[in-house]
Structures are given as structure tokens and as C-alpha cells.
Amino acid sequence: MKNILVTGGTGFIGSHTCISLIEQGYKITIIDSCFNSSPSVIKNILLITKRLKESNLITFYKGDIRDKVFLNKVFIESLKENNPIEAVIHFAGLKAADESVRIPLIYWDNNVYGSICLLNIMEKFHCRNIVFSSSATIYGNPKSIPIHETFEINPINPYGHSKAAVENILREIYISNPKWKIINLRYFNPIGAHESGDLGERPLKNEKNLFPILCKVAYEKNRILKIFGRNWPTSDGTAIRDYIHVMDLADAHVKSLNFIFNNEPQIMNLNVGTGLGLTVLEMVETFMNKNNCEIPYEFCDRRIGDVPILVANNKKAISTLKWQPKRNISDMCLDGWRWQQKVLNEI
């Protein structure tokens, strides 16, 4: 059973990817600082995959990827157990664009320095297989839609710059040593939750993204959704995004890993989205219809750093990985709301 190191494995996308990894027969080593997540999700991952009795399927280490002594220990332990780490899926990092404008050094430190520490240790242990959690945010404000992987990289905030910087580092590592196998997955807007209702997004810090806010407004009833901008160049004036179900995104990671194990060394960039754009208003309408609830809203000024339209050209991921997004926007709304109600009921 191949042992995969998942950095940030207790976070939103990381934890859902762990489900797909287990279902595909991998063993997992998770490291997470739990700065914005909780190790309690590991039990839920084992519960969903019906492997509660096989707790050795997941080895968890609480720690920070910037701690080289800690990282070294994790790799050494895997050797001692005769189950060396054969590949890394690297999620660990910070992701709030507006926060990154206020505290850029923290973003460079976590996202870029953290990745450098990880890559150094990987090189040391000859583990040269990596799937990197990149973002469509690196395209900035693209000149045309849908966005192809060859489009200019032009981030407009420190968060985007930090993701682009790690992609650059990976490219230089590959040039220096073409034994590396590298896939950069450029995510569009992941939402939803596992269909069981037992795993989903659980941000401990202040939430800024549209979908969790939609859920809170629907739940609390006394809140109003603020829609950022009504004069974008779109059909109804609200911004367009390419929302993708988190389990489809998880599946893209496992297929990327399988691709790496079955192909020659290379570096590749892949957009992971559905290729379908939805305005904020269309999203609100769909959420209300599918979940039979009310979302009161008002229009506000545009949010600083927002772009009008981000939609993926996902053909390369589909053809290369033999991957296909299977869940539509209704599934995203139903699954995400099922989970969020559970979380909000607990608070």
C-alpha cells in the first residue's frame, strides 16, 4: 500500500481528498498545524470510508511544514515503519486574498517558505512526486474566458503571488533535476461537502467565501447576504465563478497521483473547474430553490481584489487524467447545506 504524505490534510480540500485516497487503496500520513482545522476530522474520514477499525490507514502528526526537524522526523518514521512516503499532496497554506494584502509576510512565510522546507526534505529523501494545491487566482484578471493553462500568470494579491512563486520554484526544481514528477492543480471555486453529511468545510476563523456565508444567512434568518457589486460586465451584473464540488476536486487529486505513478517524470499545470460559470445571483437562486430556504440580500460596493469572471477551460485535466466533474451545482448546494446545518446546529 503506497504511503502518501498529505500536508494540510485536516483542512477542507485535504480531508475530502483523504477519503478518495483511502477509497483508491492508499495509506495516508497527514501533517497539519491545525491552525484553521481540527484533527477530529480523521475519525470522520475513517467513518465515511468504513475503515474505523483500521486506524493505521492514517498516521497523523500535528506540526508546521516550516519546522524542518519535524518534517525530517515524519519522513524518518515512515522509513522505520517500512512504508516510505512515496508522494506528497501539498495543501498546507493560507488562502484568504484580502488578508494576504494586510499581512503579506505571513503569506510568503507560510506558503512559500513552508513549501521550500517541504521540497528540501523531499529532495533529501528522494521523494520527488508532488501534487501541488495551486489556484486560479494566479491568472489575476484574465483577458478572455474560459481560462486556458497557457494564459499569462498575473496575480493581483500576495496570496496569488505566493501560489505563483511556488509554481515557479517547482519548475526550477524540475529543470535542475528532471527526475521530479510535478502536477500543479489550479483550483477554481471548491464548495459543497461529502454527500454523507459527515464531512465538510469547518473554518474556525472568520469566513469570507460566498458559499459558507450563504449557509449562515439561510440558517440564522436575521442576516443579509452582501453581494459585492452589481455592475460587473455579466448578464445580471454580479460576478461569475466556476464552482466545483469538493469531491470532484478530491477525485482530481487522486487521478493526478495515479498519473504520476504511471508516467514518466514531467511538470504539468491543470485547471480544475467544471467549465461552467454562475453569477452570484444565480448561485443564490439555485441555493434557495434546492434547499427550500430564503436568502435575503443587498448590493454593496465591489470587494477589493475581486475580478469579474473566472471560468476554467478544463479540457486538459479531463483528457490527461481521465477525470470528469460528476456533480452539478444542485449537488453542491444540497451536500454543502446538509453539512453546514449540522455544524451550525452544534454551535
With CB under 6 A as the contact rule, the residue among 104, 197, 265, 305 that binds ligand UD1 is 305
Are 286 and 49 in contact by the 8 Å Cβ rule? The answer is no
Cell of 320: 490527461
With CB under 6 A as the contact rule, the residue among 21, 119, 138, 210 that binds ligand UD1 is 210
Residue in 185, 203, 7 with CA at minimum distance from that of residue 92: 7
The pattern of x and - marking residues 43 through 82 that bind ligand UD1 according to CB under 6 A reads ----------------------------------------
Q: Which stretch binds ligand UD1 (CB under 6 A): 14-22, 27-35, 117-125, 206-214?
A: 206-214
In the complex, least distance from residue 307 CB atom to ligand UD1, rounded to whole angstroms: 8
Read off the DSSP letter of residue 81.
Answer: T
Report d(CA 225, CA 219) in Å as an integer: 12
Report d(CA 85, CA 2) in Å as an integer: 8
- Work out whether strand 129-135 and strand 85-90 pair parallel, antiparallel, or are unpaired: parallel
With CB under 6 A as the contact rule, the residue among 24, 36, 83, 209 that binds ligand UD1 is 209
306 is an interface residue for ligand UD1 by CB under 6 A: yes
Reduce the DSSP state of residue 62 to 3 states and report it.
Answer: strand
265 is an interface residue for ligand UD1 by CB under 6 A: no
For the four alpha carbons of 225, 248, 4 and 97, in that order, the dihedral sign comes to negative
Given 159, 174, 187, 243, the catalytic residue: 159
Residue in 325, 220, 341, 328 with CA at minimum distance from that of residue 291: 341
In the complex, least distance from residue 55 CB atom to ligand UD1, rounded to whole angstroms: 31
Smaller CB separation from ligand UD1, 30 or 310: 310
In the complex, least distance from residue 182 CB atom to ligand UD1, rounded to whole angstroms: 20
Q: Which stretch binds ligand UD1 (CB under 6 A): 75-83, 86-94, 119-127, 300-308?
A: 300-308
With CB under 6 A as the contact rule, the residue among 18, 45, 74, 239 that binds ligand UD1 is 239
With CB under 6 A as the contact rule, the residue among 50, 226, 322, 342 that binds ligand UD1 is 226
* Residue 84 CB burial class (10 angstroms; 0-12, 13-18, ≥19): middle
Report d(CA 283, CA 237) in Å as an integer: 13
Cell of 15: 480531508
198 is an interface residue for ligand UD1 by CB under 6 A: no
Smaller CB separation from ligand UD1, 2 or 303: 303
What string of DSSP letters covers 253-277? HHHHHHHHHHS-S-EEEEEES-S--
Q: Any catalytic annotation for residue 159?
A: yes
Q: Which stretch binds ligand UD1 (CB under 6 A): 17-25, 267-275, 298-306, 330-338?
A: 298-306
Contacts for 275 with CB less than 8 Å, ≥ 6 apart: 146, 242, 311, 312, 313, 314, 315
Report d(CA 252, CA 20) in Å as an integer: 9
In the complex, least distance from residue 227 CB atom to ligand UD1, rounded to whole angstroms: 4
Smaller CB separation from ligand UD1, 33 or 111: 111
The pattern of x and - marking residues 131 through 170 that bind ligand UD1 according to CB under 6 A reads ----x-x---------------------x-----------
The residues assigned a catalytic role are: 159
Which residues of the shown chain bind ligand UD1 in the complex (CB under 6 A)? 95, 97-98, 135, 137, 159, 189, 208-210, 213, 226-228, 239, 241, 280, 303, 305-306
